[in-house]
Amino acid sequence: MARHFTVLGAGTVGVCTALQLLRDGHRVTLIDRAAPASGCSYGNAGIIQVGGLVPLANPGILRQVPKMLLDPEGPLLIRWQYLPRLMPYLLRFIASARPERVAHAANALGTILDRAIEAYRPLIQQAGAWDMVRETGELYLYKTDAAYAAAASAHALRRAHGVKMEEIPVGELSQLEPCLAPIYRHALLFNDCISVRDPAVFTRRLADAFQAAGGTWIQDEITDLDSNGSGQRHLIGATGRHALDELVIATGAYSKPWARKLGSYVPLDTERGYHLMLADPGVETQRPLIFGDQKFGAVSMLGGLRIAGTAELAKLDMAPNYARAHRLLGLAKEALPDLRTDKVTPWMGHRPSTPDSLPVICRAPGRDKTYFAFGHGHLGLTMGGITGRLIADLAAGRTPPIDMAPFDIARFS
Ligand SMILES: Cc1cc2nc3c(=O)[nH]c(=O)nc-3n(C[C@H](O)[C@H](O)[C@H](O)COP(=O)(O)OP(=O)(O)OC[C@H]3O[C@@H](n4cnc5c(N)ncnc54)[C@H](O)[C@@H]3O)c2cc1C
C-alpha cells in the first residue's frame, strides 16, 4: 500500500519535495497557510544558480563586513536591537569562514548544485513548464577593478570546482545586453546557469502539476504537532486536525521551532531580502545581470523588470524597511540608463539561512518517519528540485547520489 507523506510548507522546496514524493508512488498532502509560493519563493531573482557554491561566510566577506555595516545604504544591514538573538548565528557564521570550513561547504554545495538542473527536468516536464525557463546564463558585471579583484578568490573557487565562466570583452557587452550603460570594466558569463521567468508562477505550475497528478492540497495555518497515546500524530491547524503518517518540514525561515519541537537544534535565522518590481521598465535584459560592485541583480520577468538583493539581519516579524529596496532604484538606473522607474512595487522575503550556507536535508534524528528540508538561504529556488529528489531517496531507502552528512541537522549539535 502507498505510504502517506505530509509536506508542511509550499515554497519551492516543499512543492518540489511533494511532487518528487508523489512521482515515487506515495500519497502526498501539501499544506501551507497561504497559496503555494507566497513566502520567500514568491519574489526571488529566479536564477537557478548552479555556480553558487561559494558559501556566504568566507574570509573575503569577513574583511568587507565592517565597511558594509557602517554604510546604511550598503548591501548588508543588521538591526542592532536584534543582535543578542542573532549571536548564536553570527558566532557560527564567523567560525564557518575558516578556510577549511569554506572548502568543506563549497565541496558539499558543489555536489548538490551539479545535480540541480537534472533533478528539475522531470518536474518541469511533468508541469509542462519549459516555457518558464530561460537557458541564457547569468552575467556578472564589475565597474571597478577593485570590485573584480575582491571577487577573484570566489571566482577561483568556482573555477576549481569546474564551474564554467567566460570572460566577455567589455566591447561586446552592448551586443549581449543592449540596455547596459557602457561603464563596466569586467564581465563574466556563467553559461550553465538557467533562470525562470517568474519564480512564483513557476512554483505554482509545479504545484498545479502536483494536484493534477492526485496530490492533496490543504490551506491551513499550522500551530502545533501532537501525538496521542496510540502514536497517531496530528498537525493542529486553524481549520482542523490533520492526521499524519510521515512528515516533511519545509517551512523555510519558519522551521526552527518545528525542529526544536522534533528534538533538534538548528541556528537558522533569516536574511531578509528585497526586490522592486518595475511594471513598465522600458528596457529588457536577456538574462539575469549581477552587479558585483553593489551586490544586486536585475532581470526581466513576466511582470516587468525585477531588481533584487540586499541582506538584512532582523527579526522574522519586524516590519519591512522598504527604504532598503528603494535604494536599489538609483543603482539600477545607473546600470540601465533608459530604465523607467514610475511603476514600482516593493517586496520583502525571508531567506532561510544557516551560518554555513548549507541546507538541512535529512531524516529528523531520533524520530521515525520525519524529515527536514529547509535552510536553503540564497539558493532555495536553485536547490528545490534536488532537495525533493534527495528527500525521496531517503524516504525510499535508496542510497542518495551524494554524501548527505554535510546536510544533516546533527552537524549543529
Ligand atoms: C531578494 C531575494 C532574491 C533571491 N534570489 C534567488 C535566486 O535567484 N535563486 C535562488 O535559488 N534563490 C534565491 N533566493 C532565495 C530563495 O528565494 C529562498 O531560498 C527560497 O525561496 C526558500 O524556499 P522555501 O520553500 O524553503 O521557503 P518559503 O518559500 O519561504 O516557503 C516556506 C513556506 O512555509 C509556509 N509556512 C511556514 N510556517 C507555516 C505554518 N505554521 N503553517 C503553514 N505554512 C507555513 C510559508 O507560508 C511558506 O509558504 C532569493 C531570496 C531573496 C529574498
pLDDT in tens, 117-129: 999 999 999 999 9
Q: How far is the CA of 175 from the centre of ligand 1 (A)?
A: 35
Mutate to test the pocket of ligand 1, among 53, 76, 294, 381 (most ligand atoms within 8 A of CB): 381
Residue 77 has pLDDT above 80, yes or no: no
In this predicted structure, what is the pLDDT of residue 59? 78
pLDDT in tens, 288-322: 999 999 999 999 999 999 999 888 888 888 899 89
In this predicted structure, what is the pLDDT of residue 75? 67
Tell me phi and psi for residue 234, to 5 degrees.
Answer: -135, 145
Query: How far is the C-alpha of 274 from the C-alpha of 42, rounded, in Å?
Result: 11
pLDDT in tens, 136-151: 999 999 999 999 999 9
What is the DSSP track for 271-293? EEEEEEEESS-S---SS-EEETT
**Maximum average pLDDT range among 62-71, 89-98, 203-212:** 203-212
Residue 62 has pLDDT above 80, yes or no: no
Mean pLDDT score of the chain, rounded to an integer? 94
Residue 127 identity: A
* Ligand 1 neighbours by CB, cut-off 6 Å: 9-14, 31-34, 38-41, 44-47, 49, 221-222, 250-254, 273-275, 308, 349, 351-352, 374, 376-382
Exposed, middle or buried: residue 105 (CB in 10 Å: 0-12, 13-18, 19+)?
A: buried
Report the CATH number that the domain containing residue 121 is assigned in CATH: 3.50.50.60
Q: How far is the CA of 306 from the centre of ligand 1 (A)?
A: 17
- Neighbouring-strand partners of residue 243: 234
Residue 48 has pLDDT above 80, yes or no: yes
Distances (CA, A) of 113 to 107, 181, 271, 298, 383: 10, 32, 21, 22, 7
| 3-class DSSP assignment, residue 44 | coil
Predicted TM-score (pTM) of the model is 0.97
Among residues 182, 195, 92, the alpha carbon closest in space to that of 136 is found at 195
In this predicted structure, what is the pLDDT of residue 90? 86
Residue 245 has pLDDT above 90, yes or no: yes
In this predicted structure, what is the pLDDT of residue 72? 65
Largest Cα–Cα separation, the chain: 71
In ligand 1, the atom with minimum distance to the C-alpha of 222 is 42
Q: Strand order of the sheet with strand 4-8?
A: 216-219, 27-32, 4-8, 246-249, 370-374, 360-363
Confidence bin at 68 (pLDDT 50/70/90): low
Confidence bin at 80 (pLDDT 50/70/90): confident
State how many domains the chain has.
1
Confidence bin at 412 (pLDDT 50/70/90): very high
Query: How far is the C-alpha of 254 from the C-alpha of 32, rounded, in Å?
Result: 12
| 3-class DSSP assignment, residue 96 | helix
Instruction: State mean pLDDT over 330-352.
Output: 96
pLDDT in tens, 252-280: 999 999 999 999 999 999 999 999 999 99
- Rounded-to-10 torsion of CA 250, 109, 381, 411: 20
In this predicted structure, what is the pLDDT of residue 63? 75
Q: How far is the CA of 10 from the centre of ligand 1 (A)?
A: 9
* Domain extent for 159: 4-412
Least confident of 5-19, 219-233, 338-352, 391-405: 219-233
Exposed, middle or buried: residue 150 (CB in 10 Å: 0-12, 13-18, 19+)?
A: middle
In this predicted structure, what is the pLDDT of residue 69? 67
